[in-house]
Amino acid sequence: MKEIKSYNNYKVKTLFGRYITNNSIEKLLEEYDFNILGFSVKNLPIYSLSYGLGDVKILIWSQMHGNESTSTKALFDFLSYLESYGKELKSRIHLKIIPILNPDGAKAYTRENSNNIDLNRDAVDLSQPESKLLRNIYDEYNPDFCFNLHDQRTIYSLNNFNSSVISFLSPSADDIKSETNSRISSMQVISSVFEKMSTVIPGNIGRYSDDFNLNCVGDTFQSLETPTILFESGHLEEDYQREISRKYVCFSLIYAVNAILNTNIDYKTYYQIPENKKQLCDIKIINIKIKKDSSFERNNISLMYKEKLNLKEKKIEFIPELSQIGELNDINGHLLVDFLNIDKIFNLSTPSCIDEIIRYVNKLRNIH
């Protein structure tokens, strides 16, 4: 398992955190055979790189949602692994990689492109330059496989409120979710990755919803009979920089490529992967005294972080916001805090209340 043991040797340490833009990768691209495929709405270059000497062609793109940067980091780790340890793989595959399909969204830290269009709902209309570019490269390159790389929100959970640290999807090719040949090929590869990753993070691997939507790129490519796999980087505990799921996505990419070259695993294993649920919040606080009329009640609340770009420091800030109040038996927190011993009564209608709650959370956890 050299990919696991030597991860810190091949990890690309110049990439870190959530704010990954063209600027972050331009220096790295110079180590590879790269070119400019075209330009975004705001005229930023969209890069692609070619890698490998083999004839099994895999088209990979990341950050079609600009603020989903985890797998872009993982992609460069994956390439670095192939350079150091993957001579045989390199000789058998050929990769065409678009590390940041939506550079405007990456720069502004938005999901959509700068016309406010979700590129993953534009596969039929092809109304945006970024969507056209991806479709053109798909048509020209004629890949044997496609990897569509994303980040999923912190709400995604599995059994027992385990976090969905990584999830996969073999997108549907039609309304009735038929098991087409390309879907089955995708399921086979995912099944193999699932088995391998289950020895690394058992209980933290999920399956993403396979509701059909032809406007999604994966569904379109799958319907054109190219096996396509959606990778979703998720969240673990307090790793808001997503350096942990980055590592797991890297391993998954290595296992996926290996599986494409040689697997005959039963594709039905795919259906045994637990489906993602939405049962997590960022912080759950129980037994908090909340002001009610002239008195108070003890209740539970959930907080979710809003991600905000700090352009000056080129980093993402996480601003806690109130999400829900109530029993909240069906959700858990990545962080769970009990306010039973806090006597203070919090007035949720005052603007500074959440900041105050966070101060108490930090106090309870001895963080100052």
Nearer to Zn ion, 65 or 96 (CB): 65
Cβ closest to Zn ion, residue 94 vs residue 150: 150
Residue ranges in the chain assigned as alpha helix (H): 2-5, 7-10, 22-29, 70-85, 87-92, 103-108, 129-141, 181-197, 217-223, 243-261, 353-364
Q: What is the DSSP letter of 279?
A: -
In the bound state with Zn ion, the residue whose beta carbon lies nearer, of 63 and 157, is: 63
**92 vs 153 by CB, closer to Zn ion:** 153
**Can you give the binding site for Zn ion, defined by CB under 5 A?**
65, 68, 150
CB of 64: closest distance to Zn ion in angstroms?
7
Instruction: Report the nearest approach of Zn ion to the CB of residue 349 (Å).
Output: 34
Closest CA to 247 of 259, 236, 257: 236
Q: Least distance from C-beta 200 to Zn ion, angstroms? A: 23
Q: Min. distance of Cβ 206 from Zn ion in angstroms?
A: 15
CB 327 within 8 A of CB 286: no
What is the C-alpha to C-alpha distance for residues 288 and 339, in angstroms, rounded to an integer?
A: 5
Cβ 153 to Zn ion, closest distance in Å? 10
Tokens linked to 321: 């916001």
Given the complex with Zn ion, which of 227 and 234 has the nearer CB atom?
234
Residue 218 CA: distances (Å) to CA of 61, 108, 123, 146, 178: 11, 24, 9, 8, 15
Task: Kindly state the DSSP code that residue 365 receives in the 8-state scheme.
Answer: T
Instruction: Compare residues 18 and 65 and give the one whose CB is closer to Zn ion.
Output: 65
- In single-letter form, the type of residue at position 291 comes to K
Which pair of structure tokens corresponds to residue 168? Answer: 């996969």
Q: With H, G, I as helix, E, B as strand and everything else as coil, classify residue 131.
A: helix
Closer Cβ to Zn ion, 190 or 337, answer by number: 190
Q: What is the DSSP string of 282-322?
A: EEEEEEEEEEETTEEEEEEEEEEEEEEEETTTTEEEEEEEE
Q: Which is nearer to Zn ion, 150 or 334 (CB)?
A: 150
d(CA 60, CA 76): 12
| Min dist. Cβ of residue 68 to Zn ion (A) | 5
CB 245 within 8 A of CB 234: yes
Shortest approach of Zn ion to residue 167 CB, angstroms?
Answer: 12
Instruction: Say how many CA atoms lie within 13 Å of 255 toward its Cβ.
Output: 26
Q: Cβ of residue 131: shortest distance to Zn ion, in angstroms?
A: 14
138 sits in the region (left: phi over 0; alpha: psi -120 to 50; else beta) called: alpha
Give min distance, CB of 75 to Zn ion, in A.
15
Query: Which distant-in-sequence residues (6+ apart) come within 8 Å of 4 by Cβ?
Result: 200, 251
Smaller CB separation from Zn ion, 150 or 183: 150
| Closest to Zn ion by CB, 256 or 357 | 256
Q: How far is the CB of 165 from Zn ion (least distance, A)?
A: 16
Residue, CB closest to Zn ion? 150
d(CA 205, CA 157): 9
Beta-bridge partner residues of 228: 146
C-alpha to C-alpha distance for 117 and 122, rounded to whole angstroms? 8
